[in-house]
Amino acid sequence: MLADSYNDKISKGYFSNPRKEMLPFLPKKCHRLLDVGCGGGDFGALVKREKNAEVWGVDLSTRAIERARDNLDHAILGEFSPSIALPDAYFDVITFNDSLEHFPDPMPALQLCKTKLAPGGCIICSLPNVRYIDNVIHFLIDMDWKYEDSGILDYTHLRFFTKKSMERWFIDAGYKVESITGINPHYWSGKKIFLLRLFFGKYVEDMKYLNYVVIARP
């Protein structure tokens, strides 16, 4: 089961990243936040300290939720689905910090968010970029697609996204995309990178970023 795969990851620190780079994307009004795929709750704990917010979390991992209960106001074990015990029209922000790619189909999750967001609320979603330069080199030069314990080719990833497809998913789900911002950039220097940018220009600029952050509203 997928939940068992996540439980296996906890000993490797998989659920303990506070994701400080996501803080600047939070709006000023962030009184109530839901973190989908909250892991051990380190990001939520950071939001509670910085924003004095009420933070809820949802995750499939039993071991992660046990830890998250010490960090969050509410930590719920289970799938993010209509059956989960979450209040409607309640959250100012719903975050997916590299968790949406773990859904077999992201669309139901995006639709469910509409019922959980308060009026004027938004989704803030970090997604791995499958066109990241190191990953492109891996399958073009190494001629391989080897799954790993973490990263873009995490063995628990069920969906893969480019910058363009991220935007399309949200638009198709009925959201207005306010911004898509690259984070965690590649060093993006050296002779090979220079030649790549010289010959291919705008067609490789999206390869610079490991992740993109989408901000969208219904």
Where do the domains of the chain lie? 2-217
pTM of the model as a whole = 0.92
Three-state DSSP at 6 gives helix
Bridge partners (DSSP) of residue 176 are 217
Which pLDDT belongs to residue 144?
A: 95
Q: What gap in Å lies between CA 43 and CA 40, rounded to an integer?
A: 8
pLDDT digits (tens, 9 = 90+) for 164-182: 999 999 999 999 999 999 9
Residue 76: C-alpha distances to residues 19, 39, 118 (Å): 20, 11, 20
Which pLDDT belongs to residue 3?
A: 56
Burial class (CB in 10 A: 0-12, 13-18, 19+), 17: middle
Tokens for 204?
């490789």
**Buried b / exposed e along 38-66 (16+ C-beta atoms within 10 A):** bbbbbbbbbbbeebebbbbbbbbbebbbe
Which pLDDT belongs to residue 15?
A: 67
Residue ranges in the chain whose pLDDT is less than 50: none
Which pLDDT belongs to residue 164?
A: 97
Q: Is the dihedral of CA 71, 65, 100, 33 positive or negative?
A: negative
Which pLDDT belongs to residue 66?
A: 95
Fold of 2-217: Rossmann fold (3.40.50)
Which pLDDT belongs to residue 17?
A: 86
Which pLDDT belongs to residue 197?
A: 78
Which pLDDT belongs to residue 6?
A: 58
